[in-house]
């Protein structure tokens, strides 16, 4: 089912409620608009369609490829690793 203008969310406060579930975060709406979220202006008010916002939020929060660089891993104690290699060298 397509969106109609009746579904349109108008204003920063309703947009913040729709995106963040918190109207106090309305100051973040202009930043989201600059970052490419599907928010546009009609008659001086920022507007968006709920389906477009939901699709963009899913796209923005889905897990993608691993970040570049080395992944943080939990390493063991380096002294134990050194001790095990010297122990292996002395037993052979």
pLDDT band per the 50, 70, 90 thresholds, residue 89: low
Task: Please check whether residue 92 lies inside any domain of the structure.
Answer: no
Q: How many domains does the chain have?
A: 1
Q: What pTM was estimated for this model as a whole? A: 0.61
Are 16 and 23 a contacting pair, CB within 8 Å?
yes
Tokens of 66: 């691993």
Sign of CA dihedral 41, 32, 10, 24: negative
- Taking 3-state DSSP, the helix, strand and coil percentages for the chain, each rounded to the nearest 5, stand at 55, 10, 35
pLDDT tens figures, 31-84: 999 999 999 999 999 999 999 999 998 888 876 665 566 655 566 666 665 665
Task: Please check whether residue 66 lies inside any domain of the structure.
Answer: no
Task: Please check whether residue 29 lies inside any domain of the structure.
Answer: yes
Task: Please check whether residue 23 lies inside any domain of the structure.
Answer: yes
């Amino acid at each position: 089912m397509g969106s109609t203008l009746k579904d349109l969310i108008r204003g920063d406060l309703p947009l913040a409620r729709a995106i963040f579930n918190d109207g106090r975060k309305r100051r973040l709406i202009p930043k989201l608009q600059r970052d490419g979220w599907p928010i546009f202006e009609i008659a001086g008010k920022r507007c968006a369609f709920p389906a477009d916002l939901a699709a963009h939020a899913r796209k923005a929060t889905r897990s993608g490829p691993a970040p570049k660089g080395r992944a943080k891993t939990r390493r063991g104690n380096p002294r134990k690793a050194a001790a095990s290699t010297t122990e292996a060298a002395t037993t052979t």
